[in-house]
Structure 1
Amino acid sequence: MSHHRVKDIIVGAITHDEYVRIGDKTSAKTIYDSLISTFDGNEQVQEAKAGLLIQQYELFKMQDDEDIGAMFSRFQTLVSGLKVLKKSYTTYAHVLKILRSLPQQWRPKIIAIEEAKDLKKLSLEALISNLKSHEMVLKADGA
């Protein structure tokens, strides 16, 4: 296969922006090398983003001004970002992370959940529902 045919195949498989970036390359080899360099860079950027999101996940805490719904929404956004970057955790890990993210005033509820439920079988939806119910009690009690 001629190098012009290989070049046509490569150019036909890329976006216009990528074509502009490699348009001045003279051979299939130089085009390939340029694309590899670009995508390796993208992989490094993705790994850096993943590292940042993993750090945010590990340090995740419920904010003082948040309710359970807002906290869970922020958590889901973080988890979605991790999934896009092909980094994921088990539901069990998410359950533990959410329980550990709660403020000190939630300690009795956390202990009750841990004692009453098999956390490995607890869904996030069931946990959040349980926490929202308890939050209503806390608000009614003025806590």
Structure 2
Amino acid sequence: MGLMKILKVNTAAATIEGAPQMVEKHISERTAEEKKKENLDNVAKDILYKTLDKNMFAKIKTCTIAKEIWEKLTQLCEGNDQTKENKLTIVIQKFDNAKMKPGETLAEFDERLSGIIIELISLGKDYSNREIALKVMRALPREWDAKTIAMRES
């Protein structure tokens, strides 16, 4: 069973200061809706398990509830504040140092730069379209100078 417990008022016990005492309902007393709610943790765990590869599953297999799995995955994927800051610094450097490689097509460069921008956005750093366009123009090789000048003037 998950974390959710279905409770009922304990009519056999006296109330303390006007508040009724609650006890867990026996499984035979539960309605279909209550059984469904109680099973939500299992459903959530099943969804999480199905999305993980073998390596990630090995890291969370000791977790017992969905919330614990989610927190462990968050820690593994995002890290703490210091880890996030380090990741952001590295990705900003990748963005700043991105240049079109010799023999690379514009489509390939665009795909590579888009990947870096997606990483930046996921870490909370966002660049305007103008900043990205200027970066692309600065990253192009010298043979593109005539085109970049024309783009800058327009």
> What's the TM-score, normalizing by structure 1?
0.52
Q: Decide whether aligned partners of structure 1 residues 20 and 113 sit closer, same or farther in structure 2, where only a CA change above 3 A counts.
A: closer
Equivalent of residue 131 in structure 2, options 86, 89, 93: 93
Kindly state the Cα deviation for residue 84 of structure 1 after the two structures are TM-superposed: 1.3
Supply the AA of the counterpart residue of 1:108: A
Could you say which residue in structure 1 is the equivalent of 2:93? 55
Question: 1 or 2 for the larger relative contact order (CA 8 Å, sep ≥6)?
Answer: 1
1:1-143 superposed matches below 5 A: 46-47=83-84, 48-114=86-152, 116-117=153-154
The alignment yields a C-alpha RMSD, in angstroms, of 3.8
Stretches of 4+ moved more than 6 A in 1? Answer: 14-23, 38-42
Q: Which has the larger radius of gyration?
A: 2
Distance in 1 separating the partners of 2:111 and 2:132 = 13
Could you say which residue in structure 1 is the equivalent of 2:31? none
CA deviation map 1:64-116 (0-9, x unaligned) = 021111110111111111111111111111000000000011111111111x3
Which stretch of structure 1 is more off in the superposition, 68-77 or 45-54?
A: 45-54
Supply the AA of the counterpart residue of 1:77: G
CA deviation map 1:13-60 (0-9, x unaligned) = x9898987688xxxxxxxxxxxx9x97787656522222111100101
Supply the AA of the counterpart residue of 2:95: Y
Distance in 1 separating the partners of 2:78 and 2:117 = 19
Q: Decide whether aligned partners of structure 1 residues 95 and 43 sit closer, same or farther in structure 2, where only a CA change above 3 A counts.
A: same
Structure 1 unaligned segments of length 5 or more: list them: 1-13, 24-35, 118-143
